[in-house]
Amino acid sequence: MGAGWKMNKRIAAGLLVPALCLAGCRGGGRDVWAAAGQTVSTALFDFTIDGVQAVDAYAGLTPEADGLLVRMDLTVTNTTDEALTMFAQDFQIQWGEGAEDFGCCLEAADETMVPYSYRVEPGGSHTGVMVVQVPAGTDGLIVAYQEMLASGEPGTAYFVEAAL
């Protein structure tokens, strides 16, 4: 994953269910880059992507013939004074330069996987496993999160790179 790939990455409109910021939230459309294992701070929460690895199967899930399953741990910590409702689709997984080279985690197949939606109380955390299928031969991926401001404009985009 070279620097050119980083600059070409886009978050597909409508795919993410982004957190809405209050009018006072920072924004401006800047990009923040991090590596797996680093904590990323957004306007509403901190998150960490860790333990990224290719697996043969997970909780009964197996990849298609030309696919590879990747599992990773997601921890979200609410840094606000209000409860947050988060969704599995808040985080997009990107793995190549093509317009179709992205997706979200697979639907939860057990209680350890990130559910469709979950609530994180003020100061609380939620940890779950995200599993995604990528094409065989993929050697790295990016987990992306896009803030949306109350005005409807995009705020900061966050990208976490992970090698496989």
Cα–Cα distance measured from residue 26 to residue 84, given in angstroms and rounded to the nearest whole number: 18
Q: How far apart are the C-alpha atoms of 129 and 88, rounded to whole Å?
A: 10
pLDDT at 52: 98
The token pair at 42 is 């957004």
Model confidence over 106-130: pLDDT tens digits?
999 999 999 999 999 999 999 999 9
Q: Which CATH architecture has domain 23-56+65-163?
A: Sandwich (2.60)
User: Residues with Cβ < 8 Å from 149, sequence gap 6 or more?
Assistant: 20, 21, 23, 25, 27, 155
Nearest residue to 129 via CA among 118, 139, 145, 140: 118
Name the token pair of 102.
Answer: 């992205």
Q: How far is CA 142 from CA 22, 33, 102, 162, in A?
A: 27, 10, 9, 6
Residue appearing with tokens 């803030």: 147
- HSE-CB at 161 with a 13 A cutoff on CA atoms is 14
- Residue 131 in this model has a pLDDT that exceeds 80: yes
Query: Which percentage of the chain shows pLDDT scores above 70?
Result: 82
Q: What pLDDT shows up at residue 28?
A: 52
Which pLDDT score is estimated for 30?
86
Q: What is the DSSP letter of 4?
A: H
Contact by Cβ (8 Å): 141, 94: yes
Does residue 107 contact residue 116 with C-beta atoms inside 8 Å? yes
Query: pLDDT tens digit string along 51-64?
Result: 999 999 999 999 99
Q: Whole-prediction pTM value? A: 0.83
What sign for the dihedral angle of Cα 159, 48, 148, 44?
A: negative
Residue 134: pLDDT band with limits 50, 70, 90: very high
